[in-house]
Amino acid sequence: MQASGAPAGSVAGLIDHTLLKPEATQAEIETLCREARDYGFATVCLNPTWVPLAARLLRGSPVGVCTVVGFPLGATTADVKQYETRRVIFDGATEVDMVINIGALRSGDVRTVKLDIDAVTDVCRAAGVVSKVIIETALLTDEEKVTACTLAKAAGATFVKTSTGFARSGATPADVALMRRVVGDEMGVKAAGGVRDLSGAQAMVQAGATRLGASAGVKIVQESKGAPVAASAGGGY
């Protein structure tokens, strides 16, 4: 399942319009949703507390509501992530981006990571909701990235995703290409963290990304149309 808020081929339809800053206000979230409608973004991506508001503001539009689970550290337990997932779906989320247990992966505890991912993807699959597994590439070796992507694919996740945007760095074309090689054509790859302009977005897509997490979505779309770049509500990626 892959939500899209714009016609095929439109850069806007690849973007999760993102505002994950802890200090985001209701007015900023309302602006984010309005921009998502106006520009035709795939989703708005925001913290769980704002899901009911976004679901109400976007009702009847093709724009999805994406939220985050176990965010940004991934260090909560699998049962807590599962509850978070059930709750945000109840509140109106159509896509869920979960952060894996990074410490367990780096410790070689593959079983814990598998159970962690399954706890979220099982709920999403039962509800018909898109699931994205954030592996936080900046903190992993290439071998660990391969393991994380393999586990996400085995769990039936819809996407693997590079980053939270809160680590020391975000997406790189090299990481996107590696992830694409591991998951093949059956899954989406979301590049997030540091996608700030059209050239950066194009580099990620060329490397294999099928979704972009960006707070600079308005700027990217304006650049793609050759229009003057205006300020936007997005932030946190």
Residue of 81, 161, 175, 219 marked active site: 161
Using the CB atoms, write b or e for 136-159: b if 16+ within 10 Å: bbbbbeeebbbbbbebbbebebbb
Residue 132 is a catalytic residue: no
Distance of CA 126 to the CA centre of its chain: 19
The candidate with the shortest Cα–Cα distance to 172, out of 209, 225, 123, 220, is 209
H/E run at residue 64: strand 64-69
C-alpha dist (Å) from residue 10 to 59, 211, 214: 22, 12, 15
DSSP 18-62: EE--TT--HHHHHHHHHHHHHHT-SEEEE-GGGHHHHHHHHTTSS
Active site residue 219: no
Catalytic annotation, pick one of 97, 116, 118, 175: 97
Between CA 198 and CA 94 the distance in angstroms is 26
Active site residue 197: no
- Local structure of 97: helix, strand or coil: strand
CA-CA distance, 8 to 64, in Å (whole number)?
Answer: 16
Number of neighbouring beta carbons within 10 Å of residue 68 = 23
Active-site positions? 97, 161, 190
